[in-house]
């Protein structure tokens, strides 16, 4: 009986430690990951004993779970603490994440340790160092470098699993502390950490989130919300899907403005959508077809032609935009545009437009004329 009480107390203290350190999902403050609905995460200790933690509640694991005394450690081994201390002697932060997990499924567990304060609120948390270590018969080694690097702060660390992939990955929530949330996912291959995915807007504004569409705790993709200058201030949602160990863009959705009335605005909207949209939704593709009926124009790569800056300057009414020469008649118009790319190369296009049912539509685009 006494042994059982000690065991239960140990389980509670381990749960408390892991919850307090890694991610307190019972707090409903802006959780960066979708609700995993009580999914149970398994931490595989170096003693090869499994301890299962129910993330959504602070109750003890089910009675039938395999738990032994040796696996229940309410403290992180001192030699791990000593090891990371000598990696960064000036770091006085507490350990905020600790897990033992065989990330790459090679049969050897890795030790994941982070210092700082990691929780759900991106603006209150800060991860200073993040390490993946190995412990082979007491010999501790670091795999790769400190995984906190790059321009954005890491505010959250968590072990995750992707759909159709039994390996474990390290999710790092990223923020600039103000207007941006993104993430990177770190995997392990041949004992080296690598970035499976990095998704955070370079503009400092945007929100990127992992998705778990069937809510089974395995992530199947991610979504990027963008509305800054990188997407010409349109509201854009890009959806990526995880397949064959890689993320693929499957859909771009845009909050479409009204159909433009003027000749110039039809061209500007067509060029803007053309630059922003890849894998558009049906609605977005339909708008593109309404704006331009010239099927051959689909093959023109305005992106390769360095259009973005000139288009941005034109839309924002800044200097160094595109030059327009417009010959507009009753229901037909001829427009020539020219602009310089960043290397001062000159580009020209000519457009023919027709007015059908009161709407201007581009009927032909010719390059270099
Ligand atoms: Ca391993
Ligand atoms: Ca899923």
Q: What is the pLDDT of residues 258-290, one digit of tens each?
A: 999 999 999 999 999 999 999 999 999 999 999
SS3 label, residue 80: helix
In the reported structure, the alpha carbon of residue 162 is separated from the centroid of ligand 2 by a whole-number distance in angstroms of 8
Distance CA 301, CA 124 (A): 43
362's tokens: 């581009």
Which residues make Cβ contacts (< 8 Å) with residue 59, sequence separation at least 6?
none
- State residue 214's pLDDT score: 96
When the candidates are 3.30.70, 3.10.450, 3.40.720, 3.30.1370, the CATH number that belongs to 263-367 is 3.10.450
pLDDT band at 132 (very low <50, low <70, confident <90, very high): very high
In the reported structure, the alpha carbon of residue 312 is separated from the centroid of ligand 2 by a whole-number distance in angstroms of 38
More confident of the two residues 154 and 17? 154
More confident of the two residues 15 and 154? 154
In the reported structure, the alpha carbon of residue 217 is separated from the centroid of ligand 2 by a whole-number distance in angstroms of 5
In the reported structure, the alpha carbon of residue 238 is separated from the centroid of ligand 1 by a whole-number distance in angstroms of 33
**Over pLDDT 90: what percentage of the chain?**
68
pLDDT band at 9 (very low <50, low <70, confident <90, very high): very low
For 309-328, write each residue's pLDDT tens digit.
999 999 999 999 999 999 99
Distances (CA, A) of 151 to 8, 116, 174, 202: 43, 17, 9, 9
User: How would DSSP label each residue in 281-320?
Assistant: -HHHHHHHHHHB--GGGGG--TTTTTHHHHHHHHHTT-SS
What's the chain's average pLDDT? 82
In the reported structure, the alpha carbon of residue 218 is separated from the centroid of ligand 2 by a whole-number distance in angstroms of 4
Distance CA 167, CA 186 (A): 11
Is the pLDDT confidence value at 59 over 90?
no
Counting ligands in written order, the one closest to the CA of 210 is 2
SS3 label, residue 63: coil
- State residue 369's pLDDT score: 67
215's tokens: 């809510």
In the reported structure, the alpha carbon of residue 214 is separated from the centroid of ligand 2 by a whole-number distance in angstroms of 5
Is the pLDDT confidence value at 292 over 80?
yes
In the reported structure, the alpha carbon of residue 110 is separated from the centroid of ligand 1 by a whole-number distance in angstroms of 5
In the reported structure, the alpha carbon of residue 242 is separated from the centroid of ligand 2 by a whole-number distance in angstroms of 10
Phi, then psi, of 178 in degrees rounded to 5: -130, -75
DSSP state of 279: S
In the chain, alpha helices (H): 2-21, 78-87, 263-276, 282-291, 307-315
Counting ligands in written order, the one closest to the CA of 35 is 2
In the reported structure, the alpha carbon of residue 168 is separated from the centroid of ligand 1 by a whole-number distance in angstroms of 10
Per-domain residue ranges of the chain: 2-254, 263-367
In the reported structure, the alpha carbon of residue 36 is separated from the centroid of ligand 2 by a whole-number distance in angstroms of 9
Task: Look at strands 206-211 and 180-189 and give their pairing.
Answer: parallel
In the reported structure, the alpha carbon of residue 349 is separated from the centroid of ligand 2 by a whole-number distance in angstroms of 46
Counting ligands in written order, the one closest to the CA of 192 is 1
Counting ligands in written order, the one closest to the CA of 44 is 1
198's tokens: 């990095």
Is the pLDDT confidence value at 36 over 80?
no
In the reported structure, the alpha carbon of residue 28 is separated from the centroid of ligand 2 by a whole-number distance in angstroms of 21
Is the pLDDT confidence value at 48 over 50?
no
Counting ligands in written order, the one closest to the CA of 136 is 1
For 200-240, write each residue's pLDDT tens digit.
999 989 999 999 999 999 999 999 999 999 999 999 999 99
CB 147 within 8 A of CB 174: no
307's tokens: 């259009």
CB 170 within 8 A of CB 186: yes
Torsion angle, alpha carbons of 12, 14, 15, 19, to 10: 140
pLDDT band at 140 (very low <50, low <70, confident <90, very high): very high
More confident of the two residues 369 and 67? 369
- State residue 241's pLDDT score: 98
Return the biggest CA–CA distance within the chain: 94
Is the pLDDT confidence value at 105 over 80?
yes
In the reported structure, the alpha carbon of residue 233 is separated from the centroid of ligand 1 by a whole-number distance in angstroms of 44
Which residues make Cβ contacts (< 8 Å) with residue 130, sequence separation at least 6?
97, 112, 113, 114, 115, 146, 147, 148, 154, 157, 170, 172
Average pLDDT over residues 249-264: 96
Average pLDDT over residues 50-59: 30
Distance CA 366, CA 369 (A): 6
- State residue 33's pLDDT score: 52
In the reported structure, the alpha carbon of residue 350 is separated from the centroid of ligand 1 by a whole-number distance in angstroms of 59
In the reported structure, the alpha carbon of residue 219 is separated from the centroid of ligand 2 by a whole-number distance in angstroms of 5
How wide is the angle at C-alpha 160 spanned by C-alphas 145 and 36, nearest 5°? Answer: 150
In the reported structure, the alpha carbon of residue 223 is separated from the centroid of ligand 1 by a whole-number distance in angstroms of 29
Counting ligands in written order, the one closest to the CA of 112 is 1
- State residue 3's pLDDT score: 44
């Amino acid at each position: 009986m006494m042994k059982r009480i000690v065991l239960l107390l140990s389980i509670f203290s381990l749960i408390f430690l892991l919850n307090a350190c890694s991610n307190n999902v019972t707090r409903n403050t802006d959780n960066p990951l979708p609700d995993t609905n009580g999914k149970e995460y398994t931490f595989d200790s170096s003693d090869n004993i499994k301890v299962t933690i129910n993330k959504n509640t602070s109750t003890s694991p089910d009675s039938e779970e395999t738990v032994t005394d040796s696996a229940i450690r309410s403290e992180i081994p001192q030699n791990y603490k000593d090891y990371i201390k000598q990696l960064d002697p000036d770091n006085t932060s507490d350990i905020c994440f600790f897990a033992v997990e065989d990330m790459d499924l090679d049969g050897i567990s890795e030790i994941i340790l982070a210092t700082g304060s990691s929780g759900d609120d991106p603006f209150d948390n800060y991860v200073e160092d993040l390490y993946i270590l190995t412990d082979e018969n007491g010999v501790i080694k670091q795999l790769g470098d400190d995984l906190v690097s790059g321009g954005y702060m890491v505010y959250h660390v968590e072990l995750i699993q992707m759909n159709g992939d039994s390996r474990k990955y390290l999710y790092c929530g990223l923020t600039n502390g103000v207007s941006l949330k993104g993430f990177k996912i770190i995997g392990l291959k041949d004992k080296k950490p690598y970035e499976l995915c990095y998704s955070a807007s370079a503009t400092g504004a945007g929100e990127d989130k992992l998705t778990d569409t069937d809510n089974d705790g395995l992530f199947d993709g991610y979504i990027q919300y963008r509305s800054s200058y990188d997407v010409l201030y349109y509201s854009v949602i890009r959806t990526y899907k995880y397949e064959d160990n890689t993320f693929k863009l499957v859909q771009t959705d845009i909050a479409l403005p009204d159909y433009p009335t003027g000749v110039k605005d039809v061209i500007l909207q067509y060029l803007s959508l053309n630059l922003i949209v890849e894998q558009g939704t049906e609605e977005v593709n339909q708008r593109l077809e309404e704006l331009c009926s010239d099927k051959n124009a689909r093959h023109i790569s305005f992106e390769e032609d360095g259009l973005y800056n000139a288009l941005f300057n034109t839309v924002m009414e800044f200097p160094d935009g595109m030059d327009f020469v417009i010959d507009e008649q009753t229901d037909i118009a001829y427009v020539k545009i020219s602009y310089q790319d960043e290397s001062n190369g000159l580009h020209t296009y000519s457009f023919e437009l027709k007015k059908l049912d009161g709407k201007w539509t581009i009927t032909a685009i010719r390059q270099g004329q």
